[in-house]
Structure 1
């Protein structure tokens, strides 16, 4: 049971509307006592014919890919400011922006004027969305996911992901669980694992989001579930909490640890991953985490036969959402969250 230690404190958050993520943040923040305002991001708009032409020119002639994103953010501004003004709070105690490249600088400055402290977390590599570089100095504290980005601006601070700690652990009803989007560079390994688990008689829930009907047909006979729309964060976490073992795959465009890994810490699950970086962290335990190297599964059966080993309480606390938000908002830093290289 979480304590209402932030009761009476207010926070405004701006988070891309990916898979219900803003709502997931809101629920966990409210669970620890915050009064939360979520800036809407699911505002449908079109940049128009002229701006589409400008975007095409800038992208293909000038090599600039940020125009369309900037224009979309600008078109959302009026609705977002109107929503912000409806909240009967003159000054928020805190503000948090995830992926600030997706929000206009004007909106960030307005939120900043209404907040005592404003922080940001770019959980994609900076170079992947270079528009973010122009936003860094707008924040009091700016965190990055990729340790290789720390040298790009002296203001940047390191930060890992976390697990949401307002969802209780449930009784296991699945042996192996995975959900993800089709990626060419990991499909072969996923299928190899899925078939191995089936051969071992494990109960699996391996869910792959494929938008292409033709591509989906190719995997119709494989022991995986083809889903046609992304699963929400909340639904996925509930599924994680009901599973014994979680599958996770490194994304080549990032250098860091996914939320899936931290969920296995919080919900006391075993992990199978090809991300070697996990070995450098204080939560690594070979009885809990099986690291696939060179796509070889040698030793997997032995790993599956070993029960999960509880981690020290301080490790579970360190990577919880409650501790994460304290660190981000500079409320306390006695349990630092460090990236590894």
Structure 2
């Protein structure tokens, strides 16, 4: 039997698309990866730059800027889709499809039998995704913040959690670190700073990797036990998975504008790691256990010692498997086990 073919359109984020592609191939898919670096603006001429400014300022239209960003990749995208030789891909999986111009998502829709989008950021952060939804580009648009279904009625949004990748990982030697990987956010600076100061005061070993394009994070947090990353010093998803598997516990600082659960929550689940999180919505999940998850909502970490002293409570296999990538993918694409 031939493998199912899937078109992949996701953000360029430190190799996330490559790791997602590896996981799809691990589960037997042939992958057409349409991920490209969209981080820099691109205008082929002064006239196009001026017109882009007009579209943004006067017309409030962000699609033109996206079109220019992806113009340099247009031929390659055409070639990859043309390799289907007139047939349609079985599936298309878009993640945050609004980073792409509408014209490319329309092409993906035309070249796939089933096309879905997963919005892993709160819709309020990127509300233009609703324009794509209303243009019927997707058979289904999934959001990871349950509140978005109620905030934006009439768009047919459905809720899906994040997941953990189930590709095998060889972590190497273990350590006793609290591990965090994430980007600097000014709105959660004070909370992150308090946590770091408390961990240092209590002599708790930690390993924080923080992406920041300037010196704001270094100024706020200092250098001890923190590695600052930028576009030139990236950490791949594969390296991150090894760091997760080696660590003692994971740390998670929730965003302020959504209540969906981050990947760190599910990575901790996969590797049976304890989790320290500021996201109180984890208390309502079917996998919460006070011996495994510490919900930090105060200014001190004095209770951590007792938390770490208690042994980790293994989760029932049916709950753990529920959040595996394979099940997540089947849920989004409507794939049922034969």
TM range (shorter): 0.7 to 0.9
Within 5 Å, give how 1:99-178 maps onto structure 2.
99-136=96-133, 137-151=136-150, 152=152, 153-168=154-169, 170=171, 171-178=173-180
What is the aligned partner in structure 2 of residue 338 from structure 1?
none
What is the aligned partner in structure 1 of residue 81 from structure 2?
84
Residues 1:331 and 1:218: Cα distance change in structure 2 (over 3 Å): closer
Residues 1:51 and 1:126: Cα distance change in structure 2 (over 3 Å): farther
Shift of 1:86: 3.2
SS at match of 2:32: strand
Shift of 1:121: 0.9
Residues 1:89 and 1:232: Cα distance change in structure 2 (over 3 Å): farther
| Structure 2: gaps (5+ residues) | none
| Structure 1: gaps (5+ residues) | 1-5, 334-341
TM-score calculated relative to the size of structure 1: 0.86
Shift of 1:135: 1.4
Alignment pair present for 1:318 and 2:322: yes
TM-score calculated relative to the size of structure 2: 0.87
Within 5 Å, give how 1:159-308 maps onto structure 2.
159-168=160-169, 170=171, 171-213=173-215, 216-217=218-219, 219-228=221-230, 229-308=233-312
Taking only aligned residues, the RMSD between alpha carbons, in angstroms, comes to 2.6
Contact 2:140–2:157, Cα closer than 8 Å, also in 1: yes
How far apart in 2 are the matches of 1:45 and 1:76?
Answer: 13
Within 5 Å, give how 1:37-116 maps onto structure 2.
37-42=32-37, 46-47=42-43, 48-61=45-58, 63-73=60-70, 76-86=73-83, 90-116=87-113
How far apart in 2 are the matches of 1:309 and 1:258?
Answer: 21
Deviations 1:105-162 (A, max 9, x none): 3322322232221111111222322332221111112111222221423421111100
What is the aligned partner in structure 1 of residue 334 from structure 2?
330
Contact 1:117–1:140, Cα closer than 8 Å, also in 2: yes
How far apart in 1 are the matches of 2:34 and 2:333?
Answer: 18
SS at match of 2:7: strand
- Count, aligned residues: 328
SS at match of 1:110: helix
Deviations 1:219-278 (A, max 9, x none): 445442333444222221221111110011011132211111111111111111111111
